[in-house]
C-alpha cells in the first residue's frame, strides 16, 4: 500500500464520477445545467484538478443515482482530496503540473524511472541536488534554491517508512560519469547510491546501462517515470520531462509504448549486483 495522497484521491473521485456520468449517457454540459455550474467545473472535477465541496458532491450523487454502497467511499475520497499535503506549501515555487506529480509520486505504489544524464531526484545527495538546481537556473536566488532542495529531500522520504515506494531506477552510465558539482560531490553521490540500495534492499533496485550496450529505444531519450497505484480504480501514469516541458499522461497506449521501451532498457542494463559493483568501482576512480 501507499500513504494517502489528496492528488490521487481527487483523481479517483473524478474518474468514478465520470464513469457514472458515462453510464447514464449524460454530457458534461447537461450535468452543468442541472447543477447550475459551468461545464469547465464539471471537467475539472472529473480530471481531479479541483476540490469538491460536500454539498456539490451530494448533488452529483443524487443526480447520478449512485448506489448507497458507494456513497461513503466517494465521501471519503472527497475528504482525503480536501486535505493539505506537504507539497501544497510549495505552490508559489513550482508549477501546478509539477505539484500534481509530487502528489502522484507520494501516492504511488511502484515507480520505474529512466535517466540518461542525471541521477534520479529520489536518490540524489543534497550537494548533488543543489548543483543540479543551480545548473538548471544559475540566476535562482539562494532562498529559492534552499526551498527547492528541501522539497527534493522531502520527496525522498517515500523510500522509507512502513509503506515505502517500490522504485526501480534505470540510468545510463553517462549519468554516473557526468561530474555534476565536481569530482568530490560526484564521488559522494556514487557512494550514496550504493548505500541507499543496501539500506532499501527490499524496495529499491538500481540498474546501469553501460556504454557497451547496443542501441535501444530509450537511448538518448529524456527522463520518464512510470507509476502504478494501490487502488485498482485509477490507471497507470506516465510522467515525462524535457528541457522546456513536463507532462503527465494516463493514455493507455502512450503508457504501453514507454513500458515497452523501459523493459528493453532493463534488458540492456546490468544486473542489480553488477550495477552496484560498477558504481562502487566508479566511486574509487
Is the pLDDT at 139 greater than 80, yes or no? no
CB 124 within 8 A of CB 179: no
Alpha carbon 173 to its chain centroid, in Å, reads 23
* Domain finish residue from 81, 109, 129: 81
- Residue 196 scores a pLDDT above 90: yes
What is the domain-level CATH number for residue 17? 1.10.260.40
Q: Tell whether 47 and 172 lie within a shared domain.
A: no
Q: 126 and 149 in contact (C-beta within 8 Å)?
A: yes
pLDDT tens, position by position, 99-114: 999 999 999 999 999 9
In angstroms, the first-to-last Cα distance of the chain is 40
Provide the phi-psi class of 37: left if phi over 0, else alpha when psi is between -120 and 50, else beta.
beta
**Do 226 and 123 reside in the same domain of the chain?**
yes
Domain span holding position 19: 6-81
98 and 68 co-located in one domain: no
Q: What is the pLDDT of residues 155-169, one digit of tens each?
A: 999 999 999 999 999
| CA-CA-CA-CA torsion sign (22, 25, 27, 31) | negative
CATH number for the domain harbouring residue 155 = 3.30.870
**Does residue 86 fall inside a structural domain?**
no
Compute how many other C-beta atoms are within 10 angstroms of the C-beta atom of residue 101.
23
Q: Residue 52 falls within a domain, yes or no?
A: yes
Q: Burial of 95 by CB count in 10 Å (0-12 exposed, 13-18 middle, 19+ buried)?
A: exposed
Closest CA to 248 of 259, 256, 239: 239
CB of 14 closer than 8 Å to CB of 48: yes
**pTM of the predicted model as reported, rounded to 2 decimal places:** 0.95
> If pLDDT is split at 50, 70 and 90, which confidence band does 138 have?
confident
What band does 135 get if pLDDT is binned at 50, 70 and 90?
Answer: confident
- Give the cell for residue 283: 566511486
Amino acid at each position: 500500500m501507499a500513504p494517502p495522497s489528496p492528488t490521487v484521491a481527487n483523481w479517483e473521485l473524478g474518474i468514478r464520477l465520470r464513469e457514472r456520468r458515462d453510464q447514464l449517457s449524460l454530457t458534461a454540459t447537461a450535468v452543468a445545467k442541472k447543477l447550475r455550474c459551468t461545464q469547465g467545473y464539471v471537467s475539472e472535477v472529473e480530471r481531479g484538478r479541483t476540490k469538491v465541496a460536500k454539498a456539490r458532491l451530494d448533488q452529483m450523487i443524487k443526480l447520478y443515482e449512485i448506489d448507497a454502497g458507494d456513497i461513503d467511499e466517494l465521501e471519503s475520497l472527497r475528504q482525503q482530496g480536501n486535505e493539505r499535503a506537504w507539497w501544497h506549501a510549495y505552490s508559489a515555487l513550482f508549477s501546478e503540473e509539477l505539484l500534481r506529480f509530487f502528489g502522484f509520486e507520494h501516492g504511488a505504489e511502484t515507480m520505474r524511472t529512466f535517466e540518461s544524464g542525471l541521477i534520479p531526484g529520489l536518490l540524489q545527495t543534497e550537494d548533488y541536488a543543489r548543483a543540479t538546481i543551480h545548473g538548471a537556473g544559475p540566476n535562482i536566488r539562494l532562498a529559492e534554491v534552499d526551498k527547492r532542495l528541501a522539497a527534493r529531500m522531502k520527496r525522498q522520504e517515500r523510500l522509507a517508512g512502513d509503506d515505502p515506494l517500490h522504485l526501480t531506477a534505470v540510468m545510463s552510465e553517462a549519468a554516473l560519469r557526468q561530474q555534476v558539482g565536481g569530482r568530490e560531490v560526484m564521488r559522494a553521490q556514487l557512494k550514496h547510491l550504493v548505500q541507499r540500495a543496501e539500506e532499501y534492499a527490499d524496495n529499491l533496485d538500481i540498474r546501469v546501462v553501460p556504454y557497451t550496450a547496443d542501441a535501444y529505444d530509450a537511448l538518448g531519450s529524456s527522463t520518464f517515470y512510470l507509476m502504478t497505484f494501490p487502488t485498482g480504480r485509477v490507471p497507470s501514469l506516465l510522467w515525462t520531462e524535457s528541457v522546456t516541458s513536463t507532462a503527465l499522461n494516463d493514455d493507455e497506449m502512450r503508457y504501453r509504448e514507454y513500458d515497452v521501451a523501459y523493459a528493453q532498457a532493463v534488458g540492456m542494463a546490468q544486473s542489480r549486483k553488477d550495477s552496484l559493483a560498477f558504481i562502487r568501482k566508479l566511486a574509487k576512480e
